A and B are shown apart, each in its own frame.
Chain A
């Protein structure tokens, strides 16, 4: 993952116009694209502050389930920086941002589903134990 980031950075330095400086976003938000990682809409590195492996690995897995995603990896660049980077590269049929959207939505529904499953199991267990 670091390798691909570096490759992008080099590329952007050669073509400064393509390095969209508009993408610099205020740090107040917990979500932004990492500087210098966007060359086209199909490949981006997102940076999420305040998150770590807990969300990173699950989200990475979910995004990888999307057949239009060619690459997805996450890293925590440095332990003293409270941030998580997620790199997504997709086919021409979608964009990295849409893959991220879909990943989040899918993870959310999976989480909701497991919650529901747990509630059911809990109720079932209560019933069984109140009878006996």
Chain B
């Protein structure tokens, strides 16, 4: 049974997949569906990020809130973010092991005439599943502050699960590139030109995977976009293919929760009187 018509036999071709990026083409589906996927990947895939910082000591030149903000933006390994609860779903009053991860940082500069770098590698996580990410052993870590002799930073960080809709630090993506119709056959955009469109507007990388228009092609005003080019670049906290999978999962959850709302609700069906036994 095909409920969605010919436009909805979706196909996906992965063109590139590395540790931090994925490129794929999604075809035979509607723009609204492709756009939903794009929006969820940007703002609704859950990750772990530092959300509260307690300063025990800060004699560096940077203000507390400045450092706290930098700590929040440090990517933490979030591959197992689904094993942790959202703070709002937890029964505890502040933060507990089920809904948060504690990380500590204590650095002091003791050497004369040298600057000590405080980096993400100095963060010590209480949970080995959620640690600041590093790119191999040579990675110097992410610079947080620089200390001179006698200066010291000692903080306790609480990392929590969240989505980028609330704060961009929870986004697993550095960028999501999205394109359709690289030849502008649908005329969804208008190129500003001086003399020659072909000379002044270089072709997109995706043009080589699309079908160029014929020179005498007539404009088809009934045509709809059905070939979408995605490229997702992660910040390292999650594998790119997991971001896509989690986005689909999230969309399914959204639909299910509405279905539940619809089911448990006493809206009239076929004109019958609503039943109120739900309450």
Give A contacts to B, CB under 8 Å: 20, 22-23, 25-26, 29-33, 38, 40-41, 44, 48, 51, 53-55, 57-58, 60-62, 65, 95, 97-98, 100-101, 104-115, 117-122, 124-125, 129
Contacts and interface: CB of A to CB of B under 8 A. Distances in A.
B4 A41 contact: no
A61 B30 contact: yes
- Top 7 A-B pairs, shortest CB-CB distance: A31-B261, A61-B32, A57-B32, A115-B248, A121-B12, A125-B14, A54-B39
Contact of B267 (A32, A62, A110, A122): A32
| Interface bin, chain B | 35 or more
A102 B36 CA distance: 19
A57 B35 contact: yes
Interface string B158-187: 000000000000000000000000000000
Interface in B239-279: 241, 244-245, 248-249, 251-252, 254-259, 261-262, 264-271, 273-274, 276, 279
B139 interface: no
Given A55-B36, A57-B36, A65-B5, A117 B10 contact: yes
A23 B258 CA distance: 17
16 contacts: A22-B276, A23-B267, A30-B258, A32-B265, A51-B254, A55-B36, A55-B258, A60-B32, A97-B267, A98-B269, A106-B3, A110-B8, A113-B10, A115-B248, A117-B12, A121-B14
A33 B271 CA distance: 14
Contact of A115 (B39, B245, B261): B245
A25 B266 contact: yes
B24 interface: yes
A60 B268 CA distance: 21
A121 B252 contact: no
Contact of A23 (B245, B255, B268): B268
Interface of B: 3-5, 8, 10-14, 17, 24, 26, 29-30, 32-33, 35-37, 39-40, 44, 241, 244-245, 248-249, 251-252, 254-259, 261-262, 264-271, 273-274, 276, 279
Contacts of B256: 108
